[in-house]
Structure 1
């Protein structure tokens, strides 16, 4: 079932402790664009279908990744795309967005998503040891 725009952004805003919905949206756009570059096939399509339509399109039309990024490099890439971000704030951004994405997905779908990613992404999604 597709998560609606307001509940999705409200959850990201709450988890990221952002002062505005706009900041939550900015983080979600960057994190989902980077995530989409790492996922392929049915898992990406199914995950995208659970997100609000705008974020579905971002996940399905991602930035192109030359190689899979380790969780640490994913966080650094996020920091590079968000003005004024540090690795510490980017870790917070990634966790806020990906934990809401994980909540929108069922357990089997999350397992298939995590299998496509380098080790350690389970922590970024707030699902340690889920694989």
Structure 2
């Protein structure tokens, strides 16, 4: 029988305390019934963010997150065409098979935990790097300059 050694190794290693705390924050914020459901949301949302975020902000965010979360974020190859916040929600909903409302809920829950790890300064830098529409997903006012 052939097995993937990486998968076996990952299941044997316990999660870090920081990652466990992150999952508990997401579970609490999202009112998820299980830790597994919270972890599913974390993985989906961070993978999606990893496809959107580039540059120093991506590196700095990965440094702030627990190792397990940083791996999910950085394992993604950034898309060549960044998505607006609205399209980001649609893309994650399509990939996960969830409704738009559930997907927005998941994003908000995970981004609350990301914000707690990253702090307001880095989140501001990230929002400047991303296309419009992400501020609301991070629970902030989406203030765009008047044209």
Give the structure 1 partner of residue 45 of structure 2.
31
Q: 2 CA distance for matches of 1:80 and 1:121?
A: 18
The alignment's TM-score, normalised by the length of structure 2, stands at 0.80
- Residue 127 of structure 1 and its aligned partner are, at CA, apart by 2.1
Give the structure 1 partner of residue 12 of structure 2.
none
Task: Tell me which of the two structures has the higher relative contact order, counting C-alpha pairs closer than 8 angstroms and 6 or more residues apart.
Answer: 1
Give the structure 1 partner of residue 14 of structure 2.
none
Give the 4+ runs in structure 1 shifted more than 3 A: none
RMSD of the alignment, in Å?
A: 2.0
* Match status 1:54 vs 2:68: yes
Identify unmatched segments of 5+ residues in structure 1: none
The alignment's TM-score, normalised by the length of structure 1, stands at 0.89
Choose from 52, 58, 79 the match for 1:44: 58
**Equivalent runs, 1:36-115 vs 2, <5 Å:** 36-83=50-97, 85-115=98-128
- The structure with the larger Rg is 2
Identify unmatched segments of 5+ residues in structure 2: 1-16
